[in-house]
Copies of this chain bind each other. A is one copy, B any other.
C-alpha cells in the first residue's frame, strides 16, 4: 500500500533520502535515518521489487532449463545450483520444459524481456545457433560440451569418461561388452556412441547391434534389459550403463534370476547414485553437484562484471571401484 513517497512525506524528508536509507547509503544523518526507519516500521512498508527491477534493469533471478526434475541426474545438478543461488541471494526459476522447443524458447525470451538476469541450460535440443541469438541479452551457460561458442559451458568429457569405463572393463578382462544407453538422441549419447565404436575398433571387435540397448531411463528399463540378455544366444559378459538407477534395476533383476554379478555379468554404471552405493555398484562419478555449482558461479560472475566473454569449464570424472566388475 504505502510507497516511498508516503514514507518521505510522513518522515518529513525527500524520497531520495528514503531511498538512501533503504539502500544503506552513507550520506544520511542519523536523525533522518531513524525518522525514516520509524516511519517504515509504522506503515509496515516494503519496497515494491518490481519497481526496483524496472529501474535497475536487474531482477536477481536466473532461469534453468531442464527436461524434468524428477531424474537423479538433473535433480542433483539443480540441488547444487539452488544452493549457490541461495547463497548469492539469487532467485532460481525452474523451467521444466521436457525438451519442448517452444517452451525452451520462451525461457530465452524471458532473458530478452529482462525478467531474468541469466540462463542455465542443463539439457536442451536447441541448436547452438538459436542460443547464440540470445547471448546479446545476458549470460547463458550450458551444461553440455558444444565446443567453442558465444556462450559459456560446464561439461564432462563424455567421450573420455566413457572410453575409460570401457577401458576399465577391458583391463579387467572383459571382452564382450554391451551398452545400455539413456535418451537415444541426447547430445551426450552420440558422443558416447562414437566412443563405443572407437573402442571396438581399437580392440578389434565387431559392433554387435544386439548388444546395444536403447532408451534405458529407469529401474524398470534395467530389469527389461536383463530379460533381453537372458534371451540372447550370445551374451555379453559385461555391460556399461549410463545411469546407476538403470544399472540398479538390472542388478536386482539379475539376482532374482540367478545371474551372478560380476561372475556372469560385470556392470559399470554412471553418476554414483545412492542406490548404487547400496548395491556395491562400480560406477563413474561425474561430479554432478559440482556441475550446478559451477554453472551458477559462471553466470553470477558474468552478471556481476557485465562480462559476456564465454568461459568453458571441464569437470573431472573418476571411477569408483566397488564390486560389480
Contact = CB atoms under 8 A, between A and B. Distances in A.
A306 to B, nearest CB: 16
A76 interface: yes
Contacts of A253: 278
A112 interface: yes
Nearest to A59: B50
A275 B255 contact: no
A53 B28 CA distance: 31
Interface residues of A, number: 53
Contacts of A59: 50
A94 interface: yes
Interface in A72-100: 72, 75-76, 78-79, 82-83, 86, 91-97
Contact of A49 (B48, B82, B110, B248): B110
Given A79-B69, A220-B277, A51 B54 contact: yes
Contacts of A275: 219, 245, 248-249, 275
A20 to B, nearest CB: 19
A47 B248 CA distance: 49
A303 B136 CA distance: 34
A181 interface: no
A274 to B, nearest CB: 5
Given A219-B277, A249-B278, A49 B113 contact: yes
Interface string A196-224: 00000000000000000000001110110
Among A59, A70, A93, A245, residue most surrounded by chain B Cβ atoms (within 10 Å): A70
Given A245-B274, A278-B219, A94 B114 contact: no
A301 interface: no
A103 interface: yes
Nearest to A273: B219
A48 B96 contact: no
A53 B50 CA distance: 6
Contacts of A93: 61, 91-94
Contact of A112 (B46, B61, B277): B46
Given A82-B69, A86-B96, A93-B61, A252 B274 contact: no
Interface string A219-261: 1101100000000000000000000010011001101000000
* Interface pairs A-B: 9 shortest CB-CB: A82-B96, A50-B53, A50-B54, A70-B79, A219-B278, A49-B113, A94-B94, A49-B115, A249-B278
17 contacts: A49-B115, A50-B115, A53-B53, A63-B91, A69-B79, A69-B82, A75-B75, A78-B94, A91-B93, A91-B110, A92-B93, A92-B96, A219-B274, A245-B274, A249-B274, A252-B279, A275-B275
